Chain A
Amino acid sequence: MDSVGAALYAKDVKPNAKKFSGINQNYAWGQDSWSDFEGSMKQLIPAAQVGTSQMPKLFAGQYGAEISALLASGSDIVHTSFWDGDLEAFILQAGPRGLFKKSTVILTTGETAMYKLAAQIPDGVIIGARGPFGVFAPNNELNKWFSSNFTDRYNVPPNYAAYQMTQSFLGVKTAWEKAQAANGGKRPTPEQVVAAFEGISYESPGGKVQMSLGKGHQAVMETAYGMTKKVGGKMTVEKVKRYPAEIVNPPEGIKSSDWIKNGFKK
């Protein structure tokens, strides 16, 4: 629920926003992200209107006309869930066009580009990491171990994708150990590991992971957003806000879209 967190952060920093727009990739991820953001904004800042919703195709690469449309919309807030090359191309093209100055831009996956494109991302851009990962990760022992080993190995800090892969391995490890213990110390079957995985909670470099939705098959975590700020030429984030898992995820058995439409009622 990255985009619910993004809308909560947008309300915190721009409570009087009159117009918001989006540019998202035209497939399920982009459409769902915009739908969640648009729905959440309508609940959180009802007076705000949609300027434009741009949906270029995945990996289009050229966003000149879309950026013009975003600039022309006069939006206070611009939301994007672009990732990887699309995100980087958008940052490279939007910066010289002045979009980051004219609107407060939210990059829900911006953490992956914050070091690579530090020179192109100005201060005041809202970035997320799809959870409490990377620059938003807690200062726990697992994170110190993971982050330092990853950085030593690859010469770059781990981004959210690396955190998520690591925590899925740790989840399987936790479930395996639980199933093995229940199996009298013998090697568990895949079915036993799957059963042991249901509903568990475990610690990861990103913090606590709870398999609390989807009848114990869907993990949730807190999420976090912050604003870019260069300190001594190095990219950092400031004004970090954390949103607990219960605030940015629907209760068990309720569809996200319905939950948002009903004003996030529990």
Chain B
Amino acid sequence: MDQLIAVCIDGVIYSSWLFTSAIGLTLIYGVMKILNITHGSFYALGAYMAASVTGALLARGMEPMLSYLVLLGSAAAVALIVAPLLERGLLRFMYAKDEVVIMLITYACFLILEDAIKLIWGVDPYFVAEPYGLLDSFEVGSLTYPNYNLILIGIAVASGLGLVYVLNKTRVGRLLLTVIHDPEISRAMGINVDLFYLVTFSFGAFLASMAGAFTAPTLSVVPAMGVDIIVLSFAVVVIGGLGSLQGAAVGAVIVGLVRSISIHFAPEIELFVIYFVMALVLAVRPRGLFSVAEARKI
């Protein structure tokens, strides 16, 4: 019984981590039709910024409990500085191009940012372990989990519910849905589509950098850490259906639980199982579980 509960808890924790990153990816795709590979760089930049700034402030005697705010601030700083630069400086000139071309451009940006990270932070690992152990822990049977995991779950839930609320219950959200449906008509109706693109891209980047910033205390922040998350996030949004928030949530839960089950009961297939599930879903629903029917333009 303990092990079944552990499977669920491990799955939920992993899903939360994945969802916070994947929801940004799916949001950017949903609004801008960009498969943003640079998302992995924002995750890594968030982790580096968080580890270096939080580490430096803790070394100068900052109250440890404030480190959570610094993690959040680090993620926001990345999104406010790098994302607008990328969107206004490069991507906005590419919107007329094919989706595949834009994806390749974001891939090139990903490679450039990977090297930029090495130039800025070097290749030595960064650590900021303090926030992970500050909040004590809870026990389930014989297993101990740091309460820090509850923050990760909370961030994922708040991000998901917040986005659903903004999209469905606010004026801004309705305008954004209009932009998603047809940018040209939206522009003709006086909606500032460029501003929506900038804000959406920056907020999507913020979600990725927040996932990186809040993961930083649990690992060693090293070059190329953005590679794995982008692959897994793609698996999640492809399972759920590109551009679907509900799809990203369900995709993250499926990936998290399937991975957790395999680790506990058949660890030898863990490497393969996520992609097997993805292939299975695509075989049955080629556009993902929650794909939305698109109106054909004449």
Contact = CB atoms under 8 A, between A and B. Distances in A.
Contact of A97 (B129, B144, B217, B227): B144
Contacts of B146: 96-97
A59 interface: yes
Interface in B130-145: 132-133, 137, 142-145
A92 B143 contact: no
Given A65-B11, A65-B14, A89-B218, A96 B142 contact: no
B19 to A, nearest CB: 13
B85 to A, nearest CB: 27
Contacts, number: 109
B74 to A, nearest CB: 18
Contacts of B129: 92, 117, 119-120
A231 interface: no
B170 interface: no
- Using C-beta atoms within 8 Å of the partner chain, give the interface range for chain B: 35 or more
A138 to B, nearest CB: 28
Given A65-B10, A88-B220, A54 B127 contact: no
B6 A68 contact: yes
A116 B125 contact: yes
Interface in B209-232: 215, 217-220, 222, 224-225, 227-228
Interface string B137-157: 100001111101100000000
A137 to B, nearest CB: 22
A52 B266 CA distance: 10
B11 to A, nearest CB: 7
B222 A84 contact: yes
A169 to B, nearest CB: 21
Contacts of A62: 14, 17, 215, 218-219
Interface residues of A, number: 33
A132 B258 CA distance: 42
A62 B274 CA distance: 15
A92 B127 contact: yes
Interface in A43-92: 52-57, 59-62, 64-66, 68-69, 71-72, 74, 84-85, 88-89, 92
Interface in A118-171: 119-120
Nearest to A156: B124
A95 B215 CA distance: 16
Interface in B1-34: 2-3, 6-7, 9-11, 13-14, 17
A245 to B, nearest CB: 32
Nearest to A55: B267
Contact of A65 (B148, B218, B219, B259): B259
Nearest to A66: B263
A214 interface: no
Given A64-B13, A65-B259, A69-B263, A56 B220 contact: no
Contacts of B220: 84-85, 88-89, 92
Nearest to A57: B271
B216 to A, nearest CB: 10
B132 to A, nearest CB: 6
A231 to B, nearest CB: 21
Contacts of A212: none
B218 to A, nearest CB: 6
A263 interface: no
Contacts of A89: 218-220
B219 A98 contact: no
Interface of A: 26, 52-57, 59-62, 64-66, 68-69, 71-72, 74, 84-85, 88-89, 92-93, 95-98, 116-117, 119-120
29 contacts: A54-B263, A55-B268, A56-B270, A56-B271, A57-B270, A59-B224, A59-B225, A62-B219, A64-B14, A65-B14, A68-B263, A68-B264, A69-B267, A72-B2, A72-B143, A84-B222, A85-B222, A88-B127, A92-B129, A92-B218, A93-B219, A96-B133, A96-B137, A96-B144, A97-B144, A97-B146, A116-B125, A116-B127, A117-B129
Given A72-B3, A116-B125, 16 more contacts: A53-B267, A59-B228, A61-B225, A64-B149, A65-B14, A68-B9, A71-B142, A72-B6, A85-B125, A92-B132, A93-B132, A93-B218, A95-B133, A96-B132, A96-B144, A98-B144
